[in-house]
């Protein structure tokens, strides 16, 4: 009996494959690159590679005065432009010890909540699209147009509003705007059940998201994850309630911090949807209060050359995607010596290092989309 041994190549051994997703890939929301190490269909290691969209905004702040930096700062998360502006002007106002008129405080709160709904609607529509459901995005853009119309009327901008100013807002509300804004909020609210029925009621969507990409609370704390992604893992923290700014301290009865315990893709989507409902309620409460306010200024008169006193301050806000921080250092000049941004997406996306290993490649898109990030907010 003769035995013949046939040569065995490397294919018979367990070999890993390194796969690059992006930086130009439909599922990465732009120029994000993921470097995956695969064992068959399962991900063994994941590394987010960022920086492809970096534009050096923090360095540009040092060559712009305090009015001009607002234009630069509202662009990193292009879905949350008003909220981005807000943190900058709040930091400068804190440095100046400036009190903002009550009318501006309530109007800022209203516009911040409308901006939050606009942000969330984009993800409520685009996330099902990434999982193969094309219909929800059309409904999402219909509702966005309702709110975009009133935001454009008041500011003149559709994405980059440039409506905040140090000391208040650019100008007062147009005649009849409160009524039109109230009607837009009511119209959007009346149709939000589309996402409950069409998306959450879809068994394919639930099958692709339930129990997938579970983010543990310990990981949330370790990576500084914030916003609806953290609250979907049971981390009950929201600056609007826990360290109130603007008019949120007077809106405690209306503000509801939405949390879930599961920490999976489905829980993150549910948090985003429930938070949108609550933001519409907050917008209504702000509209009621603004209608009761007596006529008054919407901003403070500023000197021709605005200089912040020497010192440092830190302001943070609950942006739609999570906590945004603004560390401002002044040497007494008309430009910041240093303005450091702490953006929500930057921290949130790092959790992919923990989330993706052990999952299937087919679930990678579901997990990635459920983190609801904007690439500009990572690279700033």
Q: Which residues fall within 8 angstroms of residue 253, CB to CB, at 6 or more apart?
A: none
Residue 354: what pLDDT? 92
Q: Is 322 helix (H, G, I), strand (E, B) or coil?
A: strand
Predicted local distance difference test score (pLDDT) of residue 5: 44
- pLDDT for 94 beyond 50: yes
Average the pLDDT over 351-367 and give the result. 92
CB-CB neighbours of 95 under 10 Å: 21
Do 118 and 126 contact (CB within 8 A), yes or no? no
Distances (CA, A) of 61 to 90, 91, 227, 318, 327: 16, 14, 26, 22, 12
Domains and CATH numbers, the chain: 49-379 (1.10.645.10)
| pLDDT tens digit sequence for 189-199 | 999 999 999 99
pLDDT in tens, 178-231: 999 999 999 999 999 999 999 998 999 999 999 999 999 999 999 999 999 999
- 2-24 pLDDT, tens per residue? 554 444 444 445 567 888 887 76
pLDDT for 275-322, tens place per residue? Answer: 999 999 999 999 999 999 999 999 999 998 999 999 999 999 999 999
> Per-residue pLDDT averaged across 372-378, rounded?
89
Instruction: Give the residue carrying structure tokens 């394919």.
Output: 204
pLDDT for residue 334? 93
- DSSP letter for 342, please: E
| Phi (first) and psi of residue 162, to 5 degrees | 50, 45
Q: pLDDT grade, residue 273 (50/70/90)?
A: very high
Res 12: pLDDT:
44
Which residue do the tokens 């929201």 mark?
238
Say how many Å lie between the first and final Cα of the chain, rounded: 72
């Amino acid at each position: 009996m003769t035995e013949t041994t046939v040569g065995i190549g490397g294919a018979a051994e367990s070999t890993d494959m390194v796969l690059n997703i992006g930086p130009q890939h439909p599922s990465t929301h732009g120029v994000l690159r993921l470097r995956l190490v695969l064992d068959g269909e399962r991900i063994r290691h994941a590394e987010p590679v960022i920086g492809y969209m970096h534009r050096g905004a923090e360095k540009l702040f040092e060559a712009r005065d305090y009015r001009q930096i607002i234009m630069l700062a509202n662009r990193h998360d292009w879905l949350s432009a008003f909220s981005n502006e807000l943190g900058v002007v709040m930091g400068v106002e804190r440095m100046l010890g400036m009190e903002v008129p009550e009318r501006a405080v309530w109007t800022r709160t209203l516009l911040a909540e409308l901006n939050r709904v606009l942000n969330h609607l984009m993800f409520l529509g685009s996330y099902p699209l990434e999982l193969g459901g094309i219909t929800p995005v059309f409904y999402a853009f219909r509702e966005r147009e309702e709110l975009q119309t009133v935001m454009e009327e008041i500011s003149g901008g559709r994405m980059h509003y440039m409506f905040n100013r140090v000391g208040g807002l650019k100008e007062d509300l147009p005649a009849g705007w409160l009524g039109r804004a109230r009607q837009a909020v009511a119209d959007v609210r009346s149709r939000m059940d589309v996402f409950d029925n069409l998306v959450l009621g879809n068994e394919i969507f639930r099958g692709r998201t339930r129990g997938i990409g579970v983010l543990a609370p310990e990981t949330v704390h370790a990576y500084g994850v914030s916003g609806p992604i953290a609250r979907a893992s049971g981390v009950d923290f929201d600056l609007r309630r826990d360290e109130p700014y603007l008019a949120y301290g007077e809106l405690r009865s209306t503000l509801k911090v939405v949390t879930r315990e599961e920490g999976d893709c489905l829980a993150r989507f549910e948090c985003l949807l429930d938070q949108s409902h609550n933001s519409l309620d907050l917008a209504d409460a702000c509209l009621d209060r603004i209608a009761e306010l007596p006529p008054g200024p919407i901003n403070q008169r500023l000197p021709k050359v605005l200089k912040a006193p020497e010192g440092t301050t830190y302001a943070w806000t609950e942006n739609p995607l999570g906590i945004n921080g603004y560390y401002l250092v002044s040497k007494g000049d008309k430009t910041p010596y240093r303005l450091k941004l702490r953006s929500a997406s930057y921290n949130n996306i790092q959790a992919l290092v923990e989330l993706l290993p052990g999952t299937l490649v087919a679930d990678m898109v579901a997990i990635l989309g459920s983190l609801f990030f904007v690439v500009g907010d990572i690279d700033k």
